[in-house]
Structures are given as C-alpha cells and as structure tokens.
C-alpha cells in the first residue's frame, strides 16, 4: 500500500477590477420639447420604473416625447444604434435583478 499525499492549491475566484474612465453625457438645460428614450433591458419591473419616470417628467416639463426601447444586455449589445437613429436628446435606462 502506497501513501499518496494530495496537494490542494486554493485560488481566489474574485476577478481583479479594472475601472474604465468614462466621460459623462452632456446635461440638458431642460427636458421641455425634448425626445426622451426609455430603455428597458427586460429585467423584472424595469418597465414599470420607466413608466413612472415618464409620468414624472410629463408633469414637470412641456411637450416631451418618449420613445421606448427594449433589449436584453446579456444577449445583445444595448440599443445604441437604435437610439442614435431615433434622434433622442436623452435616454433613461433601467436594469435590475
């Protein structure tokens, strides 16, 4: 009978975070008369949050138009091309788990 010594190496499963620099979007002076994209990635209740945001914006600003976008981030890239083609002045997005 041979004694075998097992060797176990423990590794840290947490990936190193490498932050990326990003430039924030230009802030609009007002939402009045603007076209606002409402982007939902189909996570639970994100559509409800977007509807509530749209209602709050409509109460506060005049002549606001909304365009809805739906796309899952985990399966496809975000709808950036759609947003560009839509002519939206700003986009509100929701995600959640």
Q: For the full predicted model, state whether its pTM sits above 0.75.
A: no
Taking the chain, what is the end-to-end CA distance rounded to the nearest angstrom?
54
Q: What are the pLDDT digits (tens) for 17-41?
A: 888 888 887 899 999 999 999 988 8
**How do residues 43-55 score in pLDDT, each as one tens digit?**
888 899 999 999 9
pLDDT for the residue numbered 70: 81
Separation between Cα atoms, residue 51 and residue 57, nearest integer Å: 10
**Percentage above 70 pLDDT, the chain:** 85
Q: In the 8-state DSSP scheme, what is residue 52?
A: H
């Amino acid at each position: 009978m041979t004694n075998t010594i097992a060797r176990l190496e423990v590794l840290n499963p947490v990936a190193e975070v490498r932050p990326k620099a990003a430039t924030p979007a230009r802030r609009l002076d007002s939402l009045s008369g603007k076209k606002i994209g409402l982007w939902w990635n189909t996570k639970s209740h994100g559509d409800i949050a977007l509807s509530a945001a749209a209602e709050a914006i409509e109460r506060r600003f005049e002549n606001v138009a909304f365009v809805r976008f739906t796309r899952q981030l985990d399966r496809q890239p975000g709808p950036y091309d759609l947003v560009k083609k839509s002519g939206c002045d700003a986009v509100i997005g929701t995600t959640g788990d």
